[in-house]
């Protein structure tokens, strides 16, 4: 099974024949990474690498995700795709260019996101009753939108109500006033931002394994220098995978105040905090459920790829896209 590897230390990633190793600058020790088993490499430390290293990643379809000094996602080394289908990309782009077709796909993402938010809050009834009512009301307005701008307005209102509910069931020391992406001003905002970044990069990795073009999106406007389709699909999986993970880590006191740090007036996860979140995230991605149509166990990670396959079938006119709505 392919695995993800995370680098927090300062050092160098190097190629040795047909394998990789990380040379820790502080200890001088080497840690070998079996290239055949590597899916993604996440770099949080100050790491050097060269073209020989990148060429090997290209051969084995390994992606490297980079995070800056503050722990914010900055970009991905994305090997030249071997899953190429011009026919799929043309049809994907045609759905973006057609106003009604684009609106349908974008609305589908928001329907799924709202469904999973409501699903989360039902675990904390009756304290969340009023928030659920607000989300249900807004969800009923999604299909009335005729363009992306009002749809994004509804999406923003949905998130506002959803995040307001968090103070009803999370420990008081992690209460927050509002969702602030950058810079995070409190531990909960820092935790949400980090968890969402992990979700974006995981979705991107699964898109890469299909014929979809990650730059052609529907809810988020396509632009240069970002894989905006991963932002679209992540709308489905942030409330399904990231948020319940956050609730568990905080309510079960698996994360403490000491797992955060104040750096230049920014509240960020410390290395210990990131490692705890990453371990829990990896465990969640490996969790399996019995798929109703496939009649077999599939992991949460594989659900992301299945969502990509459903989009491809929709773009090609085979099956109308129905976004994932957790049935378990």
pTM to 2 decimal places: 0.92
- Which comes out higher in pLDDT, residue 48 or 81? 48
- Tell me which of 266 and 83 has the higher pLDDT: 266
Q: Give how far the C-alpha of residue 185 lies from the chain's centroid of Cα atoms, to the nearest Å.
A: 21
Residues of the chain with CATH 3.100.10.20: 3-77
Q: Where, residue-wise, is CATH 1.20.120.920 in the chain?
A: 86-315
Strands 288-290 and 297-299: antiparallel
Which residue numbers belong to the known binding site?
155, 220, 235
Say whether 303 sits in a helix, a strand or coil.
Answer: helix
The annotated binding site for Mn(2+) is made up of 155, 220, 235
For the stretch 61-114, pLDDT in tens is: 999 999 988 888 998 998 877 677 889 999 999 999 999 999 999 999 999 999
Buried b / exposed e along 253-290 (16+ C-beta atoms within 10 A): eebeeebbbeeeebbbbeeebbebbbebbeebbeeeee
Mark residue 253 as left, alpha or beta (left: phi above 0; alpha: psi -120 to 50; beta: remaining). Answer: left
Q: How many CB atoms lie within 10 A of CB 182?
A: 10
CA gap 65, 73 in Å, rounded = 8
> pLDDT tens digits, residue range 173-212?
998 878 877 678 899 999 999 999 999 999 999 999 999 9
pLDDT: is 73 or 304 the higher one? 304
CATH 3.100.10.20 fits 3-77, yes or no: yes
SS3 114: helix
Q: What is the CATH number of domain 86-315?
A: 1.20.120.920
Nearest to 247 by CA among 328, 183, 162: 162
Q: How far apart are CA 98 and CA 204, in angstroms?
A: 24
Residues 44 and 277: their CA atoms lie apart, in Å, by 14
- Residues 4-31 have pLDDT tens digits of 999 999 999 999 888 899 999 989 999 9
């Amino acid at each position: 099974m392919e695995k993800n590897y995370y680098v927090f230390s300062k050092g160098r990633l190097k190629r040795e024949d047909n394998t990789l190793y990380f040379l820790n600058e502080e200890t001088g020790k080497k840690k070998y990474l079996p290239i055949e088993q590597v899916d993604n490499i996440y770099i949080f430390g100050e790491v050097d690498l060269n073209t020989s290293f990148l060429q090997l990643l290209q051969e084995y379809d390994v992606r490297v995700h980079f995070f800056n000094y503050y722990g914010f996602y900055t970009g991905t080394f994305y090997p030249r795709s071997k899953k190429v289908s011009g026919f799929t990309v043309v049809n994907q782009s045609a759905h973006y260019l057609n106003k009604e077709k684009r609106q349908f796909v974008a609305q589908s993402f928001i329907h799924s996101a709202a469904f999973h938010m409501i699903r989360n809050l039902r675990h904390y009834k009756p304290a969340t009753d009023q928030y659920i009512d607000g989300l249900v009301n807004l969800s009923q307005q999604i299909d009335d939108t005729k363009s992306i701008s009002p749809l994004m307005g509804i999406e923003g209102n949905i998130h506002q109500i959803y995040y307001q509910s968090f103070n009803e069931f999370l420990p008081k020391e992690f209460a927050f006033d509002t969702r602030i992406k950058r810079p995070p001003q409190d531990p909960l905002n820092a935790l949400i931002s980090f968890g969402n970044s992990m979700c974006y990069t995981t979705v991107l990795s699964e898109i890469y394994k299909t014929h979809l073009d990650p730059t052609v999106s529907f809810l988020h406007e396509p632009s240069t220098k970002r894989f905006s389709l991963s932002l679209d699909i992540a709308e489905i999986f942030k409330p399904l995978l990231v948020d319940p993970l956050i609730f568990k880590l905080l309510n079960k006191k698996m994360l403490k105040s000491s797992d955060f740090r104040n750096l230049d007036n920014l509240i960020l996860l410390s290395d210990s905090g990131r490692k705890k979140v990453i371990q829990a995230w990896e465990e969640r991605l490996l969790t399996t459920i019995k798929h109703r149509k496939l009649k077999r166990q599939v992991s949460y990670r594989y659900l992301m790829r299945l969502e990509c396959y459903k989009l491809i079938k929709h773009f090609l006119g085979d099956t109308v896209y129905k976004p994932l709505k957790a049935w378990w």
